[in-house]
Structure 1
């Protein structure tokens, strides 16, 4: 992915190395352990971020790569700024076509732990979007975890992760997030293979594909194999694959993101069409 030298967003806050607690979830829970905690949170109706934060132990915290001391460019900061800036362009244009104005989100880089309007979290939670403060939170050590633990990685795969979180911001602006939250408050069961949470996450995958479609059409910045690496990353973080790695079994009743096949297919739908209207997972009879 040929991203260097492009315009960066002014909405990135670099708070790496500031105010971290040095805590790691569950004394070092792996990806599978995190999945189990999130599943329990969904089943009990508790806030997943709060549960993960409460489980913070004394294990060594994952750390982002140190900032260059010699004044050379900071790769992570520049990369995140370029990708976020491109999502701003794409969604700004798409919203304008619908007669609306896109409100740009913030993106905060942090190390080890962070406090957001949605609660405290550690890097083990992975990248997340908080609708209460319209901010994406990212410890870039997650990109290392993608390569080491999940078998994904590469610039475009990392861009997909950022675009997925930005897609949750789009859902907040369009009212999707509020509708899912309202259903939860009304006592509706939102988790499970056909639940609203899975539909919300698959729509975010599709929206990430929409961004990639328009970004590539304008920039021509993808290298051979980029889309395959992004799809491999989407596949690696499917509920079925993570649960199988964690427990050896798959429990669709606790799904919150969709299967590997579903995540790949909905990203591909967005990428192939570039049309957000094709991402209506809530109306789809079969996911």
Structure 2
């Protein structure tokens, strides 16, 4: 996708908490990277692009309400339970031209686009008002409403009341996705992941997180939750070119290219449970899946992208 240089970005939707130091503290939960040990037990762990254990233990419930708008009150940007101040990393992200020249500013533009899409779509599609969710970047570790999280968790969404933000360790993509899992480099990899994480926010707002009863296995509810989030990511990609700034200026001058789509699909495949199991432990065990296979993840991303239809992502039917 190509950013519209005239677009005015809302940098208030993204904040940076800086470095929180290493390790986990308090009641935090460790989700290990390949080759690491699972906390409280042996065995090789899985990288989880969305922290499923955090989600299952901290679901804040769905429901409508909210402002329906996209203006973020400063209180919404505070990291629940944490003391990290905004470093000002995104203060200079003003325009679509900045987004084209800076990956950080591109992140702001993509978050603006995702939230504009859902702000325009969710009420009509699901009868629920959209509530804005900040994206918080960090390195090392961070305190959230779902507990203390380290960089090993990977990108995640915290659905706890008073939080409901997306968290992103910006080193994850190079350090883990590319180097350890053999995933693709490229900006659109992160844009797909952001679309996925905001898909979890939509599931929280609509109450679909409450459908999860079974936690593991090829056909488990936990896997369905993740696959639906992939579908929502594809849905945003399909509609991204029609998203606007607050003053009605298009955020993108062009829609996704074939290379963009290849990057997103390759990323979805790289974080499939079967691929991660092969890399981390040399064997595949579908009974332990929590996010779905590479094939499933690609399939549901394509479902959202090719249909452009919210109803097509209803995996619970």
Q: TM-score scaled by structure 2?
A: 0.71
CA distance in 2, matches of 1:2, 1:271: 18
Give 1:31's aligned residue. 34
Q: Deviations over 1:132-175 (max 9, x none)?
A: 01110011111213333332221212100011000000000000
CA distance in 2, matches of 1:108, 1:170: 17
Per the TM alignment, residue 255 of structure 1 is displaced from its structure 2 partner at its CA by 0.3
Give 1:144's aligned residue. 174
Give 2:15's aligned residue. 13
CA distance in 2, matches of 1:8, 1:226: 22
Aligned match for 2:260, one of 211, 219, 226: 226
Per the TM alignment, residue 37 of structure 1 is displaced from its structure 2 partner at its CA by 4.0
- Gap regions ≥5 residues in structure 1: 40-44, 51-66, 184-188
Aligned match for 1:214, one of 232, 239, 261: 239
Give 1:190's aligned residue. 215
1:123 partnered with 2:151 = yes
| Number of matched pairs | 252
Per the TM alignment, residue 267 of structure 1 is displaced from its structure 2 partner at its CA by 0.1
**Cα distance change of structure 1 residues 100 and 49 upon mapping to structure 2, 3 Å threshold:** closer
Report which of the two has the higher share of helix: 1
CA distance in 2, matches of 1:32, 1:198: 23
RMSD (Å), alpha carbons: 3.2
**Cα distance change of structure 1 residues 104 and 3 upon mapping to structure 2, 3 Å threshold:** same
1:176 partnered with 2:208 = yes
Secondary structure at the residue paired with 1:249?
coil
Per the TM alignment, residue 239 of structure 1 is displaced from its structure 2 partner at its CA by 0.1
**Cα distance change of structure 1 residues 147 and 281 upon mapping to structure 2, 3 Å threshold:** same
Per the TM alignment, residue 206 of structure 1 is displaced from its structure 2 partner at its CA by 0.3
Give 1:261's aligned residue. 295
Per the TM alignment, residue 229 of structure 1 is displaced from its structure 2 partner at its CA by 1.1
Secondary structure at the residue paired with 2:2?
coil
CA distance in 2, matches of 1:27, 1:255: 18
Per the TM alignment, residue 34 of structure 1 is displaced from its structure 2 partner at its CA by 7.2
CA distance in 2, matches of 1:245, 1:252: 15
Higher relative contact order (CA 8 A, sep 6+): 2
Does the 8 Å CA contact 1:14/1:77 hold for their aligned counterparts? Answer: no
Give 2:269's aligned residue. 235
Does the 8 Å CA contact 2:30/2:149 hold for their aligned counterparts? Answer: no
Does the 8 Å CA contact 1:12/1:107 hold for their aligned counterparts? Answer: yes
Misfit runs of 4+, over 6 Å: 24-28
Does the 8 Å CA contact 1:49/1:125 hold for their aligned counterparts? Answer: no
Q: Which moved more, 1:156-165 or 1:94-103?
A: 94-103
CA distance in 2, matches of 1:21, 1:200: 31
Does the 8 Å CA contact 1:201/1:258 hold for their aligned counterparts? Answer: yes
Does the 8 Å CA contact 1:113/1:120 hold for their aligned counterparts? Answer: yes
The within-5 A match list for 1:76-155 is: 76-98=103-125, 99-132=127-160, 133-145=163-175, 146-149=177-180, 150-155=182-187
Q: Deviations over 1:160-204 (max 9, x none)?
A: 001100000000000011332xx3xxxxx3311110000000000
Secondary structure at the residue paired with 1:225?
helix
Per the TM alignment, residue 225 of structure 1 is displaced from its structure 2 partner at its CA by 1.1
